Amino acid sequence: MRIITYNVNGIRAALGKGFIDWIKSSEADVICIQETKARPEQIPTDLFNEAGYYAYWFSAQKKGYSGVGILTKKEPDNVVIGMGVEKYDNEGRVIRADYGDVSVMSVYHPSGTSGNVRQEFKMTWLDDFLIYSRKLKKERPNIIISGDFNICHKPI
């Protein structure tokens, strides 16, 4: 299974810059997308279908913010949106596709760069995401977590 993860920084802007052509040339089985910045009804899913992909989206409640998606050539057995934690799910940060005993997640972790409140939110998110991931791994041990982690190993 060839999996690609891509922070598009706005799916509509990416589409205007040749994203569909790139997808067609990628030969990916699964493309995990972060930072869609669009509601599902604003995304022309038919373009992805015509390129040979099923498309699944999870958007933030706030318009033009966050959002994740999964494009997949093979229809998944199951798609799960969110973590089941309202304060995170309101931001559209996690989507998972299950294929038999393998799960693929597209995750957009908070950046924490806009101030102390968001930095605290990010740190709490990291703790909660670790708990969520460990619990999920017990149920679905073959899990691939992809995405924009918004973490740098040293200061830039």
> Which residues are known catalytic residues?
148
Query: Cα(41)–Cα(113) distance, rounded to whole angstroms?
Result: 29
Q: Which two tokens stand for residue 143?
A: 């899990």
Alpha carbon 8 to its chain centroid, in Å, reads 10
Residue whose C-alpha is closest to residue 106's, from 54, 53, 30, 19 = 30
Which segments within the chain are labelled E, that is strand?
3-7, 30-34, 54-58, 68-72, 78-81, 94-99, 102-108, 142-148
Q: In whole angstroms, give the CA distance from residue 112 to residue 83.
A: 19
